[in-house]
Amino acid sequence: MSWQNTTANLFGRLMVKPIMKRAVSISALRAGIDTVEQLFPGRPPHCRILRDRPLPDCDAEWVLPEGIAADRVVLHFPGGAYVLRFPNFERSLVARMCRAAHARGRLVFYRLAPEDPYPAGHDDCLAAYRQLLDEGVAADRIVITGLSAGGGLALAVLLAIRDRGWPLPAGVVAMSPVTDLSDSHARSSRRTNATRDAMLSLAQEFDLREMYVGGLRRLVSHPYVSPVLGDFTGTAPLLFQVGSGEALLDDSRRAADRVRAAGGSAELEVWDGVPHGWQGMPMLPEAKLAIERIADFIRMQVP
């Protein structure tokens, strides 16, 4: 484990996790997280940001590394527990994935709870995929990626694409995805790794869940909300990345098992001791290696 990784874990324990533990308003939570955003530039270096193709109900932008003219498209759904937004962090992550994979990036800032509960964010992400198809991007040139809550949305959107009979994307990359908002994980890593996880706290877990589903608890078992409860028959190949000490470790394990049980392809990478969202931390050697693995997967699925 690198010293940079050790430092990132310490930073998470001192600066990020305490914010997630406190019972504060969403506005206060967002303000606290904004301090983390200052660590990342508003525009990644050697990269263009285009906002000329908005979606009907949310913002979206193209992230275009300079010197790359490939027809591969990375459609990315950000993390943030369905209530937060990290635009600088996510732009940096998408830019680095696209540069490594020689691809164009499409970053979707879907609507957030509690102002816009499910299915608003899910519908925005699905609309972003439909927009690419309608603009002539071939489905087999698209890889969907997502981090944390965005990883859960990536899986849910994959199920929705299959259910609608639309052409499937070439693959999906789920980075530490949230795959279960039901109560079926009482003995999972959400409990056993609760203290080991340097970034995430379970203290506000149920409040955030209630916000996402708009208080309609019956929705937590819907596969578009908890994709680990869905049927992955006939879906695209998947790559999961997750840290060994993350509270969300079993979300990835169970989802990968679910895909394989349905006859699908699911690679599961468990990285030792890395913090939640490490792929987006460019100072970590482990992040560079993880991005390279993601790029390998993208290039394999979209030759």
Catalytic residue among 148, 176, 189, 226: 148
Residue 295 and residue 97 in contact, taking contact as beta carbons nearer than 8 Å: yes
Q: How many CA atoms lie within 13 A of 12 on its CB side?
A: 22
| The pLDDT of residue 24 is above 70 | no
Q: Could you give the CA distance from residue 137 to residue 128 in angstroms, rounded to a whole number?
A: 12
Active site (annotated) includes residue 276: yes
Measured distance CA(298)–CA(303) in Å, rounded: 8
pLDDT at 8: 61
pLDDT tens, position by position, 146-157: 999 999 999 999
**Considering 76, 122, 222, 246, which one is annotated as catalytic?**
246
- Is the model's pLDDT at 200 over the cut of 80? no
Provide the pLDDT confidence category of residue 289 given band limits of 50, 70 and 90.
Answer: very high
Q: Per the residue annotation, which of 90, 176, 276, 286 is the catalytic one? A: 276
pTM score, whole prediction:
0.94
Q: What is the mean pLDDT of residues 25-40?
A: 78
197: tokens are 């996880």
Q: Do the Cβ atoms of 173 and 298 come closer than 8 Å?
A: yes
Residues 6+ apart with CB under 8 A from 20: 29, 199, 200, 201, 203, 204
Domain that holds residue 242: 3-301
184 in active site: no
Instruction: Quote the tokens at residue 41.
Output: 């530039």
Split at pLDDT 50, 70, 90, the class of 288 is very high
Which of 77, 97, 89 has its CA nearest to residue 40?
Answer: 89
The full DSSP string for the chain is --HHHHHHHHHIIIIIHHHHHS---HHHHHHHHHHHHTTS-SS-TTEEEE--S--SSSEEEEEEETT---S-EEEEE--STTT---HHHHHHHHHHHHHHHT-EEEEEE---TTTS-TTHHHHHHHHHHHHHHHTT--GGGEEEEEETHHHHHHHHHHHHHHHHTPPPPSEEEEES-----SSTTTTSHHHHTTTT-SS--STTHHHHHHHHTTT-GGGGGSTTTSGGGS--TT---EEEEEETT-TTHHHHHHHHHHHHHTT--EEEEEETTPPTTGGG-TT-HHHHHHHHHHHHHHHHH--
Domain count, the chain: 1
Could you tell me the CATH number of the domain that includes residue 286?
Answer: 3.40.50.1820
* pLDDT value of position 199: 73
